[in-house]
Structure 1
Amino acid sequence: MDLQNYKPYLVKFQSLIALILLCIGISLLSDRFLTMENGWNVMRQISVNICISVGITLVVITAGIDLSVGSILALSGAVAAGLIKDGIALESANLYIGFTVTGAVLGALVTGTVLGTFNGWVITRFKVPPFVATLAMLTIARGLTLLYTKGFPISGLGDNFAYLGTGWLFGIPVPVWIAGCVVLFAIVVMTKTRLGRYIYAIGGNESAARLSGINITKVKIIVYGFAGLLAGVGGVLVTSRLNSAQPNAGINYELDAIAAVVIGGTSLSGGRGKIMGTVLGAIIIGVLNNGLVLLNVSPFWQQVVKGAVILLAVIIDKSNAKNR
């Protein structure tokens, strides 16, 4: 059997093959892995990462990066919790504005979108490298979260809000429905719209895209704004699942998201990647996290394993790019 004939298929389906092998390995080591309860638990947990990863996928396809999504997630979740719990009090005008769950969720999404859009504006207006701009936003948003919460959790948000993170709809967890809608929307954008073609064009060759008349600034601002929006969605899901906004929420979430994007086959050089690849990557990260917990692996070793997986994924990506 000539392996060279099968190599293109192995490369194309490498994420799926890795997921199958990982599931087989963990199921052999733990009899709790292949249970319905654990399966839904994994899906509920990875829903947040899927939302964040989809946004980062678009950013990476433009040859950018976003390190701030974890902090934006935390601030967005805190804003939602604060609006539900305390509303907005304007003492000088003797005015109090209360918020419903819908209003609080919109507040969180607006917060994430504004911060993400600001990232895109800084990157395009001042030519700041995405790594630096989003690293700065990571610190800024984390600081704003601590200021907003005063360093304490905001709890007791009510059953209606908790339903978004813990409820079920037609036998499927609500977060899974939300993540599915995000994925479907992103697939349509990337495959059926002019914006999707522009995103791929910018990542493939920005100079050529500019000469073709594509408004690079506008597209990048939209992409980073969308990443911020989805970080806001993640913030709502995390906060509602815990029924509490934690000041330290979202720490290292950007690492899991970037890992999902890279494992899913999106090139860090830009111009290449698919949403479903990222979804597979997020599932792999989620299954890996779940398996390590079921096997009682030390949290310190879990970090080592995930770091090694990310490094291996990047090496494979570079190897595949070289072969192409």
Structure 2
Amino acid sequence: MSNTAAIKAENKKKINLLHNKPLIGLIIFSIIVTFLNPRFLSAANILNVLRQTSINAIIAAGMTFVILTGGIDLSVGSILALCGAISASLLAAGTSAFVAILVPLVLGAIFGMASGMFISFGKLQAFITTLVTMTLLRGATLVFTDGKPISIGFEENTYLFDTIGAGTILGIPTPIYIMLAVYAVSYYILNHTKFGRYVYAVGGNEEATRLSGINVDKVKVKVYAISGVLSALSGIIVTARLFSAQPTAGTGYELDAIAAVVLGGTSLAGGLGRITGTITGALIIGVLSNALNLLNVSSYYQMMIKALVILVAVLMDRKSKK
């Protein structure tokens, strides 16, 4: 009996170590960067890293829901761009900030639901469906903006909007609070609600979940809607920070979001992962980008280095899970 208890305790330690690997990696990486450039640990730089990371982290939160079901969403960057452009145009037309925030969020949910419905009821592959959605919405953004930025004037009705993107609370940028709120809600949904259990169940074994009486199609539509809403929210934050909407905004963001989810330990096969790991993965990417900038590494090499780091991390993670 004592041997069995010892084996269980040892297995529990190994599982905890695997779950905390992303966090351990982030800490070690941060220490290395600090030795290379002491400016990294300055309060101003830490806040800058968190603010820059918040956009990718929010998108990655929605991506986590999708990947946990065994899906993928390549349309997040395009939804960000189009919803940001719509938000900017509403404000430029004199609409209240509340409407300029609410409408893009609703549209983000609709875009996500549309992808989810084609995947669930049309039985199309998630990769192909969201690739089509990505291309379609990117084209729609270029048509809507005529390929030009949409600028917002600093008027009374833009105060709330400005606060979302460039405001601070107790010296901390507002996007950081929004990011933490998104992860708090996501953690609660995935760990303390029936829907969260369904999300893991669908990714673990879709057919068994369907046979158990769970509406798998409904779950899938909901997770893509969540991804769409959070992508739209990120678009609003980006637009609010720049006080303009760029037609090319969000290009490549889907890859950073997927990388954050994978670095956080979530399996691309679905059914395995934690939302806390995703925010750690997003921070790893944010710290890496910041470190390369502090070390004056050419932007030509930064994408290559990031890709190699992500590849090594994924290979190591796969090996450890085996």
Pick the TM interval, shorter chain: over 0.9
Structure 2 gaps, min length 5 = 1-9
Aligned: 1:71 with 2:67: no
Cα 1:172/1:140, change in 2 over 3 Å: same
The residue matched to 1:32 in structure 2 has which SS? helix
Cα deviation, 1:77-128, whole Å, max 9, x if unaligned, reads 0010011112xxxxxxxxxxx5201100111111211111111011112111
1:209-220 to structure 2, matched below 5 A, reads 209-220=209-220
Aligned: 1:146 with 2:142: yes
- CA–CA distance in structure 1, aligned partners of residues 121 and 262 of structure 2: 28
* Structure 1 residue 312, shift from structure 2 partner: 2.0
* Structure 1 residue 5, shift from structure 2 partner: 10
Contact 2:119 2:126 in 1 (8 A): yes
TM-score calculated relative to the size of structure 1: 0.92
- CA–CA distance in structure 1, aligned partners of residues 80 and 47 of structure 2: 23
Aligned: 1:36 with 2:21: no
Aligned: 1:183 with 2:183: yes
Aligned: 1:119 with 2:110: no
1:200-211 to structure 2, matched below 5 A, reads 200-211=200-211
Cα deviation, 1:300-322, whole Å, max 9, x if unaligned, reads 21111111122223223322332
Letter in 2 for 1:225: A
Contact 1:70 1:254 in 2 (8 A): yes
- CA–CA distance in structure 2, aligned partners of residues 6 and 191 of structure 1: 21
Contact 1:265 1:277 in 2 (8 A): yes
Aligned: 1:135 with 2:131: yes
- CA–CA distance in structure 1, aligned partners of residues 239 and 219 of structure 2: 30
Contact 1:151 1:247 in 2 (8 A): yes
Letter in 2 for 1:72: I
- CA–CA distance in structure 1, aligned partners of residues 130 and 316 of structure 2: 26
Contact 1:162 1:242 in 2 (8 A): no
- CA–CA distance in structure 2, aligned partners of residues 105 and 292 of structure 1: 34
Cα 1:5/1:232, change in 2 over 3 Å: closer
Structure 1 gaps, min length 5 = 87-97
Of 95, 102, 114, 1:99 maps to: 95
* Structure 1 residue 58, shift from structure 2 partner: 0.6
- CA–CA distance in structure 2, aligned partners of residues 195 and 8 of structure 1: 25
Aligned: 1:197 with 2:197: yes
Aligned: 1:252 with 2:252: yes
- CA–CA distance in structure 1, aligned partners of residues 19 and 191 of structure 2: 18
Cα deviation, 1:103-160, whole Å, max 9, x if unaligned, reads 0011111121111111101111211111111111111111111111111111134344
Letter in 2 for 1:148: F
Identical positions, percent: 49
Letter in 2 for 1:262: V
Letter in 1 for 2:76: V
Aligned residue number for residue 266 of structure 2: 266
- CA–CA distance in structure 1, aligned partners of residues 12 and 116 of structure 2: 43
Aligned residue number for residue 225 of structure 1: 225
Cα 1:4/1:105, change in 2 over 3 Å: closer
Contact 1:120 1:224 in 2 (8 A): yes
- CA–CA distance in structure 1, aligned partners of residues 209 and 308 of structure 2: 35
The residue matched to 1:297 in structure 2 has which SS? coil
The residue matched to 2:321 in structure 1 has which SS? helix
Contact 2:110 2:225 in 1 (8 A): yes
Cα deviation, 1:35-58, whole Å, max 9, x if unaligned, reads 111111111111111110000001
Cα deviation, 1:221-274, whole Å, max 9, x if unaligned, reads 000000000000100111111111001100111111111100000011100111
Letter in 1 for 2:204: G
Contact 1:186 1:275 in 2 (8 A): yes
- CA–CA distance in structure 1, aligned partners of residues 104 and 97 of structure 2: 11
Contact 1:81 1:157 in 2 (8 A): no
- CA–CA distance in structure 1, aligned partners of residues 13 and 202 of structure 2: 32
CA-based RMSD of the aligned residues comes to: 1.6
Aligned residue number for residue 90 of structure 1: none
Letter in 1 for 2:111: L
- CA–CA distance in structure 2, aligned partners of residues 157 and 258 of structure 1: 35
- CA–CA distance in structure 2, aligned partners of residues 184 and 8 of structure 1: 23
* Structure 1 residue 8, shift from structure 2 partner: 4.4
* Structure 1 residue 29, shift from structure 2 partner: 1.4
Letter in 2 for 1:139: T
Moved more, 177-186 or 22-31: 22-31
Aligned residue number for residue 242 of structure 1: 242
- CA–CA distance in structure 2, aligned partners of residues 216 and 119 of structure 1: 15
1:12-51 to structure 2, matched below 5 A, reads 12-51=19-58
- CA–CA distance in structure 1, aligned partners of residues 225 and 26 of structure 2: 31
Aligned: 1:290 with 2:290: yes
Contact 1:267 1:317 in 2 (8 A): no
Aligned residue number for residue 92 of structure 1: none
